[in-house]
Structure 1
Amino acid sequence: MNIKLTCLSCGQANRIPQDRLRAKPKCGTCGAPLVGAAPVEISLDVLKKAERMDDLPLIVDFWAAWCGPCRMMAPEFAKAAQALQGVARFAKLDTEAFPAAGGRYGIRGIPLLIAFRGGREIGRRTGVTPAQEIADWVGASAGK
Protein backbone atom coordinates (compact mmCIF):
# COMPACT_ATOMS: atom_id res chain seq x y z
CA MET A 1 0.00 0.00 0.00
CA ASN A 2 1.28 3.47 -0.90
CA ILE A 3 1.04 6.43 1.47
CA LYS A 4 1.15 10.13 0.64
CA LEU A 5 3.85 12.32 2.16
CA THR A 6 4.57 15.96 1.48
CA CYS A 7 8.25 16.82 1.24
CA LEU A 8 8.88 19.09 4.22
CA SER A 9 11.66 20.84 2.28
CA CYS A 10 10.06 21.66 -1.09
CA GLY A 11 6.36 20.91 -0.52
CA GLN A 12 6.11 18.32 -3.32
CA ALA A 13 3.65 15.44 -2.85
CA ASN A 14 5.20 11.96 -2.91
CA ARG A 15 3.77 8.43 -2.84
CA ILE A 16 5.83 5.89 -0.93
CA PRO A 17 5.21 2.16 -0.40
CA GLN A 18 4.43 1.80 3.31
CA ASP A 19 6.98 -0.97 3.73
CA ARG A 20 9.75 1.43 2.59
CA LEU A 21 9.22 4.03 5.33
CA ARG A 22 12.22 2.82 7.35
CA ALA A 23 14.42 2.65 4.21
CA LYS A 24 15.00 6.45 4.24
CA PRO A 25 12.86 7.40 1.21
CA LYS A 26 13.70 10.68 -0.54
CA CYS A 27 11.62 13.30 -2.33
CA GLY A 28 11.35 12.62 -6.04
CA THR A 29 11.78 16.35 -6.77
CA CYS A 30 14.48 17.71 -4.44
CA GLY A 31 16.03 14.55 -2.96
CA ALA A 32 15.42 15.58 0.67
CA PRO A 33 14.66 12.79 3.15
CA LEU A 34 10.92 12.23 3.55
CA VAL A 35 11.18 10.35 6.85
CA GLY A 36 14.09 11.48 8.97
CA ALA A 37 15.31 10.90 12.49
CA ALA A 38 15.31 14.61 13.34
CA PRO A 39 12.68 17.37 13.31
CA VAL A 40 12.62 19.54 10.17
CA GLU A 41 12.10 23.32 10.16
CA ILE A 42 9.13 24.05 7.90
CA SER A 43 7.26 27.02 6.48
CA LEU A 44 3.58 27.71 7.00
CA ASP A 45 2.83 26.99 3.32
CA VAL A 46 4.45 23.55 3.51
CA LEU A 47 2.60 22.81 6.76
CA LYS A 48 -0.74 23.74 5.19
CA LYS A 49 -0.13 21.27 2.37
CA ALA A 50 1.27 18.49 4.61
CA GLU A 51 -1.60 18.72 7.11
CA ARG A 52 -4.09 18.17 4.27
CA MET A 53 -2.30 15.40 2.42
CA ASP A 54 -0.09 13.29 4.66
CA ASP A 55 -1.13 9.78 5.62
CA LEU A 56 1.62 9.42 8.25
CA PRO A 57 1.12 11.45 11.46
CA LEU A 58 2.90 14.81 11.33
CA ILE A 59 3.84 16.20 14.74
CA VAL A 60 4.53 19.93 14.68
CA ASP A 61 6.26 21.86 17.45
CA PHE A 62 5.14 25.49 17.36
CA TRP A 63 7.94 27.47 19.04
CA ALA A 64 9.88 30.75 19.12
CA ALA A 65 13.57 31.51 19.74
CA TRP A 66 12.80 33.85 22.66
CA CYS A 67 10.80 31.16 24.51
CA GLY A 68 12.81 29.48 27.29
CA PRO A 69 10.46 26.48 27.63
CA CYS A 70 10.64 25.99 23.85
CA ARG A 71 14.43 25.78 24.04
CA MET A 72 14.13 23.32 26.94
CA MET A 73 11.79 21.10 24.96
CA ALA A 74 13.82 21.05 21.71
CA PRO A 75 16.13 18.17 22.73
CA GLU A 76 13.17 16.13 24.03
CA PHE A 77 11.30 16.68 20.77
CA ALA A 78 14.40 15.55 18.85
CA LYS A 79 14.68 12.38 20.98
CA ALA A 80 11.03 11.56 20.31
CA ALA A 81 11.55 12.11 16.57
CA GLN A 82 14.45 9.67 16.57
CA ALA A 83 12.51 7.07 18.57
CA LEU A 84 9.46 7.29 16.28
CA GLN A 85 11.23 7.39 12.92
CA GLY A 86 8.99 5.67 10.37
CA VAL A 87 5.95 5.91 12.67
CA ALA A 88 5.48 9.70 12.55
CA ARG A 89 7.26 12.72 11.11
CA PHE A 90 8.38 15.65 13.25
CA ALA A 91 8.56 19.28 12.21
CA LYS A 92 9.11 22.65 13.87
CA LEU A 93 7.41 25.91 12.91
CA ASP A 94 8.80 29.21 14.21
CA THR A 95 5.78 31.29 15.25
CA GLU A 96 7.85 34.49 15.06
CA ALA A 97 8.74 33.84 11.41
CA PHE A 98 5.15 32.80 10.58
CA PRO A 99 2.83 34.88 12.83
CA ALA A 100 -0.26 33.88 10.81
CA ALA A 101 0.10 30.40 12.33
CA GLY A 102 -1.22 31.76 15.64
CA GLY A 103 -4.65 32.53 14.25
CA ARG A 104 -4.84 29.57 11.90
CA TYR A 105 -4.12 27.01 14.62
CA GLY A 106 -5.55 28.80 17.65
CA ILE A 107 -2.19 29.04 19.39
CA ARG A 108 -2.57 30.47 22.90
CA GLY A 109 0.82 29.48 24.27
CA ILE A 110 4.05 27.81 23.25
CA PRO A 111 5.59 25.32 23.11
CA LEU A 112 2.61 23.67 21.47
CA LEU A 113 2.56 20.28 19.78
CA ILE A 114 -0.16 19.53 17.24
CA ALA A 115 -0.52 16.15 15.52
CA PHE A 116 -2.03 16.05 12.02
CA ARG A 117 -3.00 13.11 9.85
CA GLY A 118 -5.12 12.69 6.75
CA GLY A 119 -6.36 16.27 6.62
CA ARG A 120 -7.27 16.81 10.24
CA GLU A 121 -5.85 17.60 13.64
CA ILE A 122 -5.69 14.42 15.73
CA GLY A 123 -4.16 15.79 18.92
CA ARG A 124 -2.77 18.81 20.75
CA ARG A 125 -0.49 19.23 23.75
CA THR A 126 1.01 22.34 25.36
CA GLY A 127 4.03 22.85 27.57
CA VAL A 128 7.42 21.25 27.99
CA THR A 129 7.09 17.49 27.57
CA PRO A 130 9.70 14.73 28.04
CA ALA A 131 10.51 12.54 25.02
CA GLN A 132 8.81 9.43 26.41
CA GLU A 133 5.58 11.36 27.09
CA ILE A 134 5.69 12.76 23.55
CA ALA A 135 6.10 9.22 22.18
CA ASP A 136 3.21 7.94 24.32
CA TRP A 137 1.02 10.87 23.26
CA VAL A 138 1.82 10.33 19.58
CA GLY A 139 0.93 6.65 19.90
CA ALA A 140 -2.38 7.49 21.59
CA SER A 141 -3.21 10.29 19.13
CA ALA A 142 -2.40 8.16 16.09
CA GLY A 143 -4.46 5.25 17.41
CA LYS A 144 -1.50 2.90 17.70
Structure 2
Amino acid sequence: MTTSAESLHIVCPHCHTTNRLRVADQGKAPECGQCHQALFNAHPLALDDTSFDRHIGRNQIPVLVDFWASWCGPCRMMAPAFEQAAGLLEPHVRLAKLNTEEAQALAARFNIRSIPTLALFVNGKEVARQAGAFRSAADIAQWTRSHL
Protein backbone atom coordinates (compact mmCIF):
# COMPACT_ATOMS: atom_id res chain seq x y z
CA MET A 1 0.00 0.00 0.00
CA THR A 2 2.90 2.41 0.52
CA THR A 3 5.78 3.32 -1.74
CA SER A 4 8.01 2.91 1.26
CA ALA A 5 7.35 2.49 4.94
CA GLU A 6 7.19 6.27 5.24
CA SER A 7 5.28 7.69 2.24
CA LEU A 8 2.10 7.35 0.17
CA HIS A 9 0.99 8.50 -3.25
CA ILE A 10 -2.12 10.67 -2.97
CA VAL A 11 -3.89 12.06 -6.05
CA CYS A 12 -5.03 15.67 -5.69
CA PRO A 13 -8.84 16.01 -5.87
CA HIS A 14 -8.43 19.37 -7.63
CA CYS A 15 -5.71 19.07 -10.30
CA HIS A 16 -5.35 15.25 -10.28
CA THR A 17 -1.58 15.40 -9.78
CA THR A 18 -0.06 12.48 -7.89
CA ASN A 19 1.68 13.69 -4.72
CA ARG A 20 4.10 11.82 -2.49
CA LEU A 21 3.06 12.37 1.10
CA ARG A 22 4.83 11.28 4.25
CA VAL A 23 2.55 9.01 6.28
CA ALA A 24 3.29 11.12 9.35
CA ASP A 25 1.85 14.16 7.53
CA GLN A 26 -1.35 12.47 6.35
CA GLY A 27 -3.51 13.96 9.09
CA LYS A 28 -1.86 17.40 9.08
CA ALA A 29 -3.92 19.13 6.33
CA PRO A 30 -1.43 18.43 3.51
CA GLU A 31 -1.54 20.47 0.31
CA CYS A 32 -0.90 19.51 -3.30
CA GLY A 33 2.60 20.31 -4.50
CA GLN A 34 1.21 21.41 -7.89
CA CYS A 35 -1.93 23.48 -7.19
CA HIS A 36 -1.38 24.09 -3.44
CA GLN A 37 -4.97 23.17 -2.53
CA ALA A 38 -5.88 20.78 0.27
CA LEU A 39 -5.42 17.08 -0.52
CA PHE A 40 -8.28 16.29 1.87
CA ASN A 41 -11.34 18.49 2.35
CA ALA A 42 -13.93 16.11 3.91
CA HIS A 43 -16.01 16.11 0.72
CA PRO A 44 -16.44 13.37 -1.88
CA LEU A 45 -14.62 13.91 -5.14
CA ALA A 46 -16.66 13.90 -8.37
CA LEU A 47 -15.00 11.49 -10.80
CA ASP A 48 -15.50 11.21 -14.54
CA ASP A 49 -14.21 9.08 -17.42
CA THR A 50 -10.91 10.94 -17.40
CA SER A 51 -10.14 11.06 -13.68
CA PHE A 52 -11.52 7.69 -12.53
CA ASP A 53 -8.57 5.45 -13.42
CA ARG A 54 -6.02 7.94 -12.13
CA HIS A 55 -7.67 8.12 -8.69
CA ILE A 56 -8.38 4.39 -8.43
CA GLY A 57 -4.99 3.30 -9.75
CA ARG A 58 -2.62 5.84 -8.25
CA ASN A 59 -4.03 6.61 -4.80
CA GLN A 60 -2.32 4.49 -2.19
CA ILE A 61 -5.18 4.95 0.20
CA PRO A 62 -8.46 3.10 -0.33
CA VAL A 63 -11.04 4.81 -2.53
CA LEU A 64 -14.77 4.38 -1.83
CA VAL A 65 -16.86 5.12 -4.92
CA ASP A 66 -20.58 5.88 -4.92
CA PHE A 67 -22.01 4.91 -8.32
CA TRP A 68 -25.16 7.06 -8.61
CA ALA A 69 -27.46 8.97 -10.97
CA SER A 70 -29.33 12.25 -10.55
CA TRP A 71 -32.75 10.69 -11.27
CA CYS A 72 -32.30 8.02 -8.55
CA GLY A 73 -34.32 8.77 -5.39
CA PRO A 74 -32.32 6.46 -3.08
CA CYS A 75 -29.10 8.01 -4.45
CA ARG A 76 -30.31 11.49 -3.56
CA MET A 77 -31.43 10.28 -0.11
CA MET A 78 -28.01 8.75 0.61
CA ALA A 79 -26.00 11.73 -0.70
CA PRO A 80 -25.90 13.69 2.61
CA ALA A 81 -24.75 10.59 4.53
CA PHE A 82 -22.03 9.92 1.94
CA GLU A 83 -20.91 13.55 2.22
CA GLN A 84 -20.70 13.24 6.02
CA ALA A 85 -18.85 9.91 5.73
CA ALA A 86 -16.02 11.74 3.95
CA GLY A 87 -15.41 13.64 7.18
CA LEU A 88 -15.33 10.38 9.14
CA LEU A 89 -13.02 8.46 6.80
CA GLU A 90 -10.56 11.02 5.42
CA PRO A 91 -7.55 11.16 5.31
CA HIS A 92 -7.32 7.37 5.40
CA VAL A 93 -9.95 6.72 2.72
CA ARG A 94 -10.80 8.91 -0.30
CA LEU A 95 -14.55 9.14 -1.07
CA ALA A 96 -15.65 9.72 -4.64
CA LYS A 97 -18.85 9.81 -6.66
CA LEU A 98 -19.35 8.64 -10.23
CA ASN A 99 -22.49 9.68 -12.10
CA THR A 100 -23.43 6.56 -14.09
CA GLU A 101 -25.47 8.58 -16.58
CA GLU A 102 -22.43 10.69 -17.49
CA ALA A 103 -19.95 7.78 -17.37
CA GLN A 104 -21.95 4.92 -18.83
CA ALA A 105 -18.88 3.07 -20.14
CA LEU A 106 -17.37 2.97 -16.64
CA ALA A 107 -20.65 1.79 -15.13
CA ALA A 108 -20.73 -1.00 -17.72
CA ARG A 109 -17.06 -1.83 -17.14
CA PHE A 110 -17.76 -2.38 -13.44
CA ASN A 111 -21.06 -4.15 -14.14
CA ILE A 112 -23.13 -1.69 -12.12
CA ARG A 113 -26.67 -3.09 -12.30
CA SER A 114 -28.39 -1.06 -9.58
CA ILE A 115 -27.77 2.28 -7.95
CA PRO A 116 -26.68 3.45 -5.57
CA THR A 117 -23.80 1.01 -5.42
CA LEU A 118 -20.74 1.55 -3.25
CA ALA A 119 -17.49 -0.06 -4.36
CA LEU A 120 -14.31 -0.03 -2.30
CA PHE A 121 -11.00 -0.06 -4.18
CA VAL A 122 -7.63 -0.83 -2.60
CA ASN A 123 -4.44 -0.59 -4.66
CA GLY A 124 -6.53 -0.28 -7.83
CA LYS A 125 -8.61 -3.40 -7.24
CA GLU A 126 -12.21 -3.67 -6.10
CA VAL A 127 -12.32 -5.41 -2.71
CA ALA A 128 -15.96 -4.92 -1.67
CA ARG A 129 -19.30 -3.85 -3.13
CA GLN A 130 -22.70 -3.02 -1.66
CA ALA A 131 -25.81 -2.17 -3.67
CA GLY A 132 -28.52 -0.09 -2.04
CA ALA A 133 -28.61 3.04 0.06
CA PHE A 134 -27.05 3.33 3.49
CA ARG A 135 -29.02 5.23 6.10
CA SER A 136 -26.19 7.06 7.86
CA ALA A 137 -22.61 8.23 7.58
CA ALA A 138 -21.72 5.96 10.50
CA ASP A 139 -23.09 2.94 8.60
CA ILE A 140 -21.02 3.85 5.52
CA ALA A 141 -17.89 4.31 7.64
CA GLN A 142 -18.44 1.05 9.51
CA TRP A 143 -19.03 -0.92 6.29
CA THR A 144 -15.91 0.60 4.73
CA ARG A 145 -13.69 -0.09 7.75
CA SER A 146 -14.97 -3.67 7.95
CA HIS A 147 -13.53 -4.34 4.48
CA LEU A 148 -10.08 -2.85 5.07
Structure 1 residue 36, shift from structure 2 partner: 2.1
User: Partner of 2:143 in structure 1?
Assistant: 137
TM-score by length of 2: 0.89
- Whole-angstrom CA distance in 1 between matches of 2:117 and 2:37: 26
Query: 1:101: Cα distance to partner?
Result: 1.4
Runs of 5+ consecutive residues of structure 2 not aligned to the other structure: 1-5
TM-score (normalizing by structure 1): 0.91
Which 4+ residue blocks in structure 1 deviate beyond 6 angstroms? none
In 1, the alpha carbon distance for the partners of 2:35 and 2:43 equals 18
CA distance in 1, matches of 2:10, 2:20: 6
CA–CA distance in structure 2, aligned partners of residues 92 and 23 of structure 1: 24
- Give the distance between the partners of 1:49 and 1:112, measured in 2 at CA: 20
Matched positions, count: 142
Unaligned 5+ segments in structure 1 are none
The structure in which a higher percent of residues are helix is 1
Q: Deviations 1:49-82 (Å, cap 9, x if unpaired)?
A: 1211211111111111111000000011111111
Encode CA deviations 1:92-138: one digit per residue, 9 max, x unaligned: 11111111111111100111111112121121111110212211111
| Identical-pair percentage | 37
Q: How far does the alpha carbon of each residue in 1:29-61 deviate from its partner, in whole angstroms, 9 at most, with x for none?
A: 223322221112122221111211211111111
